[in-house]
Structure 1
Amino acid sequence: MARLVDITYCVGTTGVSPPFSCASRCKDFPSLDLVRTWNTGVLLSDSCGFIAVDHGTSSSSSSSSSSSSPKPPSKPAIIVAFRGTYSITNTIIDLSTVPQEYVPYPSPDDDGDSTPTTKKCANCTVHMGFLASWRSARELVLPALKTARAKHPGYPVHLVGHSLGGAVAALAALELRQSLGWTDVTVTTFGEPRIGNKHLAHYLDETFSLLSTNNNNHTTSPKETLLYRRVTHANDPVPLLPLSEWGFRAHAGEVYIAKPDLPPAPEDLRLCVGADDPECVGGPEADGWLGWVLGDLVRGEETRKSVEAWTRRLGGFPARLKLWQLFFAHRDYFWRLGLCVPGGDPVDWGRGKYGVLLGGGGGDGEL
């Protein structure tokens, strides 16, 4: 899934062309047929990505791979991939103080080609920039997606996104599940920021059954068959933005990559409990240092602090406040995302094809 969202960075640059060809690693997915790409513009609130249909591969065709390790068979699926942007922090800072009410589409003046929502989102607010990005993509994505689904009615839908694309994928998924009533939707995001307030986070948790409870009404450990996988990475600040001081909260479904460097191993992954597992990206110090870096600076509080106070706080900086490390952490999800160059990221050269299980419903695909 990370490789698929990596390919979205070709859209708007060198391009993705039928049947499924690009300058990056499109050849790793011979069973995919491109449905369409979209690129709504160059502004931070615009959206970019592709829709493709995976017709699946059999065990016999998988074993013929030139890779030293046979590629496992893949199941049919419809893929909707949303591209991210490394300027996401600018978007968050500029717009985070202006949340707006979240109303699941379709709105009352919509075309009516939908199933009414089964559950309203009470007291929910959403980041207006993320919602604007989904609105700009919606009129291009939904018609093509509905056509593909009608042509392949047994194919589950997989949404995948990185960074800003993860936030857009979250809002798209809520519409598909709640407004359209599609139950076979699975989501995987990488470095997804917080999309709204605690009520919206809870609404998403309920929609994708991310939280289970025991008799004491406490959240229990998550299952591996998550319908929504929010993958985070050690030292990546974006999943902690916008700040909780601004009223934003994360939702559950987190899969945490604890190893800072590439490549991670299975033992470096953690299925997190709830939205703020202290052993995951939202650890106890997270909002503290991010609040200092962003919250205090935005509010101008540094002008009221003495040089001595600044010195004390500087002494407590975690290493991940080094900006170049933050950039790498936001980019390095299983491999480097956002490099649409011939043959893919040079670091990947010499590595074999990646086994990808896209089967839906149970969330049993490999990341």
Structure 2
Amino acid sequence: MLYTMLTSSWLLYLAATIAAGTPVGDQNPLRGQNDATTPGHISTGLFASLERLSRLVDITYCVGTTGITQPFSCASRCKEFPTLELVTTWNTGVLMSDSCGYIAVDHGTTSMLSGNDGGIADTKKQGAIVVAFRGTYSITNTIIDLSTIPQEYVPYPSPDQGGSKPPKEPEHTCKNCTVHMGFLASWNIARAVVLPALKPLLEQYPSYPIYLVGHSLGGAVAALAALELKVVSGRDNIVVTTFGEPRVGNEGFVKYLDSVFDLGGKGAQNEAQTYRRVTHVDDPVPLLPLSEWGYRSHAGELFITKSSLPPEPSDIRVCVGDEDSKCIAGSVGEPLRTVGQALAKEQGQDIAMWTEGLWDIPSRFKLWQLFFAHRDYFWRLGLCVPGGDPIDWDRDKYPNFTTSDEL
């Protein structure tokens, strides 16, 4: 059934792209893995923060499966976070607009927002509120089947929709904004749990920063949640970190998000930014839905240039603007070398004469990477078993970059 779902979705996706006028065989040259020699890689401090957050988002996959219980216990990585206290979880099932996640309070974290010089900007011991959004097991259908139906985005939902009153004079306005209907539906489901649960926490811990994290669909939902929390509440201490986040909305929405989080548009990014969109060189999801359908990527990207696990700080590039050609945007036309071509090259045979252009597939068509690169963010994410995915069991932790009390 899963094979049929992926096959039908891939064919639908391929047909839609051809109809939109995207040439399948006309691709850009393959980029080298180690061609990023200019400055722009992250510090070990920021790396430690991202690695820890990747484990926190991996725990979301216990919601809807084996579960998370208080104080903060689950079948996966919960024991690695002894200072966390579970507040609540939510689960709406495995559907196209499914919404799952948890809220927890960390009573002993250290802020790990790093400066440009690689130093720690703030080492004061403090707590934090963590809101984590799980990815969906039906990400292919979620993106493809609904992406032709963009929906108007309203930053300030009306009170009868469970929203808050908009600011009298909003600093940022969202003009001609549309977002993916499935992503917005998932946030609308989650917000009925998230906002009421957050209200007493914000009153009880007013100085605690809010860390919103999400993988896959959860990254898109985290983006919508963060915008509402930041604009309506006016809080400045909101930090968003997403892994494999798909494109959420159109150009108007991207300009709005960049403005709200001061991502600088085409200007240089820095490690102190409060929105970190982590992407992977082989992951097709950050390139979806299609730009031909009006979707765009926003700024704040941190690009993992290494295909295999585990990455190191030197493997992560700080990207510039919404679509840096040296980051995920540059892999739109990356061709795929087939197994046959790889074997032939290993045997010293040249088969390029009769295979050239036949199997060149851009990254955004590599839907089989939903099982691999889309999950390869510091760890193999997405399986709630002791120690995480079995592929991680024989891997060492990150002793040089990680401590138990760092966000």
Q: Same fold (TM over 0.5)?
A: yes
For residues 201-250 of structure 1, give each alpha carbon's deviation from its aligned partner in whole angstroms, at most 9, with x where no partner exists: 110000000116xxxxxx33211111000000011000000010000001
Q: 2: CA distance between counterparts of 1:328 and 1:166? A: 17
Gaps of 5+ in 1: 59-71, 213-218, 291-310, 359-364
1:286 and 2:332 equivalent?
Answer: yes
CA gap 1:277/1:356 in 2 versus in 1, 3 angstroms: farther
Pairwise CA distance, 1:320: 8.5
Q: 1: CA distance between counterparts of 2:138 and 2:212? A: 22
1:302 match = none
Summarize the alignment of residues 1-367 of structure 1 with structure 2, pairs less than 5 Å apart.
1-56=53-108, 75-107=126-158, 109-110=160-161, 113-114=164-165, 116=167, 117-211=170-264, 219-283=266-330, 286=332, 313-317=357-361, 323-349=367-393, 351-352=396-397, 354-355=402-403, 365=407
Identity over aligned pairs, percent:
65
CA gap 1:115/1:270 in 2 versus in 1, 3 angstroms: same
For residues 257-276 of structure 1, give each alpha carbon's deviation from its aligned partner in whole angstroms, at most 9, with x where no partner exists: 00000000111000000111
Q: 1: CA distance between counterparts of 2:197 and 2:315? A: 38
TM-score (norm 1): 0.81
What is the letter of the counterpart of residue 42 of structure 1?
V
Aligned-residue CA RMSD (Å) = 2.5
Q: 1: CA distance between counterparts of 2:55 and 2:136? A: 16
CA gap 1:272/1:321 in 2 versus in 1, 3 angstroms: same
Pairwise CA distance, 1:147: 1.3
The number of residue pairs the alignment matches comes to 320
Q: 2: CA distance between counterparts of 1:229 and 1:337? A: 18
Q: 1: CA distance between counterparts of 2:172 and 2:366? A: 43
Pairwise CA distance, 1:7: 0.1
Moved more, 274-283 or 322-331: 322-331
CA gap 1:244/1:320 in 2 versus in 1, 3 angstroms: closer
Q: Is the 8 A contact 2:159 2:165 kept in 1?
A: no
2:116 match = none
Q: 2: CA distance between counterparts of 1:355 and 1:109? A: 44
What is the letter of the counterpart of residue 264 of structure 1?
P
CA gap 1:321/1:112 in 2 versus in 1, 3 angstroms: closer
Q: 2: CA distance between counterparts of 1:97 and 1:192? A: 18
CA gap 1:246/1:319 in 2 versus in 1, 3 angstroms: closer
What is the letter of the counterpart of residue 267 of structure 2?
T
For residues 305-359 of structure 1, give each alpha carbon's deviation from its aligned partner in whole angstroms, at most 9, with x where no partner exists: xxxxxx864243368965544531001100010110023233433634742665x
Q: 1: CA distance between counterparts of 2:162 and 2:391? A: 47
CA gap 1:100/1:11 in 2 versus in 1, 3 angstroms: same
Q: 2: CA distance between counterparts of 1:242 and 1:319? A: 13
- 3-state SS of the aligned residue for 2:328? coil
CA gap 1:148/1:226 in 2 versus in 1, 3 angstroms: same
Q: 2: CA distance between counterparts of 1:287 and 1:249? A: 16
TM-score (norm 2): 0.73
Q: Is the 8 A contact 2:334 2:363 kept in 1?
A: no
- 3-state SS of the aligned residue for 2:126? coil
Pairwise CA distance, 1:144: 0.4
2:113 match = none
For residues 246-295 of structure 1, give each alpha carbon's deviation from its aligned partner in whole angstroms, at most 9, with x where no partner exists: 00001000000000000001110000001111111111x506879xxxxx
What is the letter of the counterpart of residue 49 of structure 1?
G
For residues 20-63 of structure 1, give each alpha carbon's deviation from its aligned partner in whole angstroms, at most 9, with x where no partner exists: 000001011110000000012221202000000000158xxxxx
- 3-state SS of the aligned residue for 2:175? coil
What is the letter of the counterpart of residue 164 of structure 1?
L
Pairwise CA distance, 1:106: 2.6
Q: 2: CA distance between counterparts of 1:85 and 1:74? A: 34
What is the letter of the counterpart of residue 286 of structure 1?
V
